[in-house]
């Protein structure tokens, strides 16, 4: 049985006091939660240190939203995997569609990031997904197969266990348009088959594949109850304790 995961991507939201407020609210809501769902929050870099402090003793895990693939160097404005690790970060979102489209990250760069992350002990939440144009041109399976193959190229079996895949159709992110449970399940099923072909049956059975794209309290339960959907990567709905908690509860 795969343990369900609900991860919150805060994006570029929440300053210091808002971080304290949101984490306090979540901790209170989750105080009696018996961790049958793995809960992860990914605040901005500026909130990582305070988040780590506030999350002590809580069931909530800490992730970051990005990192550079080098350990250190003249890369103004960047943060390395090693730096994140030194602050007690456990997960890192890599390959998010906003990084791919706005910051021009390609599969090759994302692969370097994935390999660097696992080499220092960070667990990637590795995002893939097609654009609306790609879907309309029947390219969905080709695109996600390419993203998965190239993004996870050269990864060792030892590290494969640490990867969480997030399928996020770009047309559903922040748009209010959600893939229907059957549309999402169709892609998740295909992905699990692809993982089996590439890495073998036991990895395919154990790897968590999350759905992301306008998941909200009112659509989460149906999505999360599909056989190949192991939880969600949540944007907008993770910014309030109430709605994030309701999404988490939909995975129970
Ligand atoms: C995301 O940013 O990964 C995401 C899924 O956002 P939203 O839930 O707002 O669509």
Does the Cβ of 95 fall within 6 Å of ligand 1? no
Distance CA 129, CA 143 (A): 7
pLDDT, tens only, 147-182: 999 999 999 999 999 999 999 999 999 888 888 999
The reported pTM is 0.97
CB 123 within 8 A of CB 114: no
Residues that are catalytic: 96, 168
Does the Cβ of 80 fall within 6 Å of ligand 1? no
Give the domain extent around 162: 4-28+37-69+77-250
pLDDT, tens only, 28-51: 999 888 768 999 999 999 999 999
Among residues 46, 57, 59, the alpha carbon closest in space to that of 20 is found at 46
Distance CA 108, CA 126 (A): 13
Report the CATH number at residue 181.
3.20.20.70
Q: Whose CA is nearest to atom 3 of ligand 1?
A: 235
Does the Cβ of 238 fall within 6 Å of ligand 1? no
CB 252 within 8 A of CB 190: no
Q: Give how many domains the chain has, as a whole number.
A: 1
Q: Is 124 helix (H, G, I), strand (E, B) or coil?
A: strand
């Amino acid at each position: 049985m795969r343990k369900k995961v609900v991860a919150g991507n805060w994006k570029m939201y929440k300053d210091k006091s808002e971080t304290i407020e949101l984490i306090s609210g979540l901790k209170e809501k989750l105080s009696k939660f018996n961790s049958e769902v793995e809960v992860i929050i990914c605040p901005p870099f500026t909130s990582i240190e305070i988040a780590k402090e506030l999350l002590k003793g809580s069931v909530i895990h800490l992730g970051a939203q990005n990192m550079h693939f080098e350990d250190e160097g003249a890369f103004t404005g960047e943060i390395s995997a090693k730096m994140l690790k030194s602050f007690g970060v456990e997960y890192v979102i890599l390959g998010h569609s906003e990084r791919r489209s706005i910051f021009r990250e390609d599969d090759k760069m994302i692969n370097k990031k994935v390999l660097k992350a696992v080499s220092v002990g960070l667990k990637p939440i590795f995002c893939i997904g097609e654009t609306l144009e790609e879907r309309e041109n029947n390219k969905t399976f080709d695109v996600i197969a390419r993203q998965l193959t190239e993004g996870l190229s050269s990864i060792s079996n030892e590290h494969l266990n640490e990867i969480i895949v997030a399928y996020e159709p770009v047309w559903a992110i922040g748009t209010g348009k959600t893939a229907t449970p059957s549309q999402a399940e169709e892609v998740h099923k295909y992905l699990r088959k692809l993982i089996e072909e590439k890495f073998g049956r036991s990895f395919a059975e154990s790897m968590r594949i999350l759905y992301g794209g306008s998941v909200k309290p009112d659509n989460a339960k149906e999505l999360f109850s599909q056989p190949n959907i192991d939880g969600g990567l949540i944007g907008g709905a993770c910014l309030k304790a109430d709605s994030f908690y309701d999404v988490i509860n939909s995975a129970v």
